[in-house]
Amino acid sequence: MHDKTEKPALKTVELFDDDVQRNPFSTYSALLSNAPLAMDSRYGNYVLTRYEDVRMLADNVWLSATDGVDPAGRFPPGTYPDIERTDPPRHRRLRALLLKPFSARTTATWHDDVRKIFDEYFERIETDRFDVVDAICYPAPADVICSIMGFPAERRADYRRWSRALMNRLGQSLSDDDRNALIEMARFMREQVVERRAKPTPDLLSSLIEAEVDGEQLSDDELVAHGVFLLAAGHETTTNLLSSIVFLFTKHPELYARLYADRDGIETFVEEALRLEAPIQSICRTTLEERDIHGSRIPEDARVLFSLGASGRDSAQFTEPDDIDLERRNCARHLAFGYGSHLCLGAPLARLEARLFVEGLLDRFASIRATGDEERWTSTVVRGFHHLVVHVERRQ
Ligand code: HEM
């Protein structure tokens, strides 16, 4: 227990206000300059924003992931933990199962298949004005993860509903529709596991069923938890990155023209998009022991929100952090994929999809304009668009 004198007199910050969620950058800037450790006024999370502080995510002695990453509260007990909600040593073993299937080397072998999926969606666009989220940003990454996992692509509309329910859960209370969607998703995943056990197919779900951790196979509950996690993690985040990329192109037509002339800049541009518009803006952890940070004490068993989004705007790490700089040398050092032992396993795949998406846009469209018809996620965790209607000029 801590007496009153030990309690930190921290600035509070409203991170859950709708306007702040849609445009958090001036709030981040104030925190970065004046309140490197703050407290969120809605849920009482300690908030860290500076790049060096967010890298404390790697400290497994101080932090635990088992209560989940949701800034709105701890994960309810009784659900089976996926890899993201596991601490070492079990986490290391689970991760070993997934390292190979998502390694940069394995991902490179998917290049042609992923490209084919993206090309097909581009070819289906018949009008010059369309919702780019519905047309490509959502369905193409969804098809990619379905083909890796071996899930039927025809149920894409269900996956969208389910994954959105999972993401909606973060940072707010769950609606009845979302709760039902999550029950349906778990039921679907259980059916998939039962089918694969009876008749294995050459896909990641079957490999997970056969794999062993600590000489044991994953239970059905663990398989369901990982199926749900991989399906959602595998596309919703990428969808948001792709829609943010289009948004950045509509804001910076000169950059779009430059990339058309010099495609070597695409990789740096994708890193800049990740840094500036991190699709996962924040990640929470629970403290295993107390720590003094920036003159205040964070007690044991507290929740700490690490702002990946703010860390990308830290001028101590990135000069002129609000600008897109295709010459930026440390462009890939952003924390949009997290940091430490839980670093995103799908990063090589997400980068591949983003690059092929940008190439596809550049090949087909001479310009992309915003129409003003758009809807952003209103979330402290998720950044990107539900809808983004654009007007394109096709190349002759
Ligand atoms: C732009 C796209 C993506 C972004 C921004 C992103 C972001 C993240 C972040 C921030 C984490 C760390 C979570 C934490 O520390 O608690 C993470 C973990 C993870 N991501 Fe991604 N992700 C993306 C795409 C993908 C894809 C395509 C997959 C493939 C299925 C994937 C699979 C995973 C897995 C398995 C983990 C958990 C790793 C662990 O706990 O050890 N992600 N991701």
**Tens of each residue's pLDDT in the chain, 396 residues:** 344 445 557 999 999 999 999 999 999 999 999 999 999 999 999 999 999 999 999 999 999 999 999 898 887 766 778 899 999 998 998 898 888 888 999 999 999 999 999 999 999 999 999 999 999 999 999 999 999 999 988 888 898 888 888 887 776 667 888 888 888 988 999 999 999 999 999 899 998 898 887 788 888 888 999 998 998 888 889 999 999 999 999 999 999 999 999 999 999 999 999 999 999 999 999 999 999 999 999 999 999 999 999 999 999 999 999 999 999 999 999 999 999 999 999 999 999 999 999 999 999 999 999 999 999 999 999 999 999 999 999 998
Residue among 175, 169, 177, 181 nearest 73 (CA)? 169
DSSP structure string for 144-204: HHHHHHT--GGGHHHHHHHHHHHHHHTTSPPPHHHHHHHHHHHHHHHHHHHHHHHS--SSH
7 C-alpha to ligand 1 centroid (Å) = 34
- C-alpha to C-alpha distance for 146 and 132, rounded to whole angstroms: 20
Residue among 306, 240, 301, 302 nearest 273 (CA)? 240
Question: What CATH number did the domain enclosing 129 receive?
Answer: 1.10.630.10
41 C-alpha to ligand 1 centroid (Å) = 27
6 C-alpha to ligand 1 centroid (Å) = 36
Paired with 283 in beta bridges are 306
The verdict on the CB of residue 241 being under 6 Å from ligand 1 is yes
337 C-alpha to ligand 1 centroid (Å) = 6
Paired with 376 in beta bridges are 385
- C-alpha to C-alpha distance for 242 and 384, rounded to whole angstroms: 8
What is the position in ligand 1's atom list of the atom closest to the CA of 57? 15
- C-alpha to C-alpha distance for 21 and 230, rounded to whole angstroms: 25
Q: Whose CA is nearest to atom 3 of ligand 1?
A: 237
Rounded to the nearest 10 degrees, the angle between the axes of helix 156-169 and helix 220-251 is: 90
Structure tokens at 97: 């199962």
Segments forming the whole domain that contains residue 369: 11-72+84-394
For residue 5, what pLDDT is reported?
46
Q: What is the pTM of this model?
A: 0.94
* CA count, 13 A, side-chain hemisphere, 261: 6
Do the domain assignments include residue 24?
A: yes
Sheet with 385-394: strands ordered across:
129-131, 385-394, 365-376
Do the domain assignments include residue 146?
A: yes
Residue among 335, 390, 244 nearest 50 (CA)? 335
Paired with 265 in beta bridges are none
Judged by DSSP in three states, 308 sits in helix
Paired with 37 in beta bridges are 48
What is the position in ligand 1's atom list of the atom closest to the CA of 285? 16
304 C-alpha to ligand 1 centroid (Å) = 19
Do the domain assignments include residue 78?
A: no
Do the domain assignments include residue 233?
A: yes
Our count of domains for the chain comes to: 1
Pocket test residue of 344, 351, 352, 353 for ligand 1, highest count of atoms within 8 A of CB:
344
Backbone angles phi, psi at 297, to 5 degrees: -100, 125
Do the domain assignments include residue 17?
A: yes
Spatial neighbors of 272 by CB under 8 A, at least 6 apart, are 324, 325, 326, 328, 331
Residue among 240, 255, 241 nearest 323 (CA)? 255
The verdict on the CB of residue 306 being under 6 Å from ligand 1 is no
For residue 7, what pLDDT is reported?
52
| Cβ contact 249:256 at 8 Å | yes
- C-alpha to C-alpha distance for 116 and 131, rounded to whole angstroms: 21
For residue 173, what pLDDT is reported?
67
Spatial neighbors of 351 by CB under 8 A, at least 6 apart, are 267, 270
Q: Whose CA is nearest to atom 43 of ligand 1?
A: 344
Do the domain assignments include residue 389?
A: yes
Structure tokens at 183: 């029950």
Judged by DSSP in three states, 11 sits in strand
The residue length of the chain stands at 396
Residue among 163, 227, 156, 166 nearest 195 (CA)? 227
For residue 176, what pLDDT is reported?
85
At which residue do the structure tokens 């300690």 appear?
A: 46
Do the domain assignments include residue 308?
A: yes
239 C-alpha to ligand 1 centroid (Å) = 13
At which residue do the structure tokens 């394995």 appear?
A: 106
| Cβ contact 286:62 at 8 Å | no
Do the domain assignments include residue 333?
A: yes
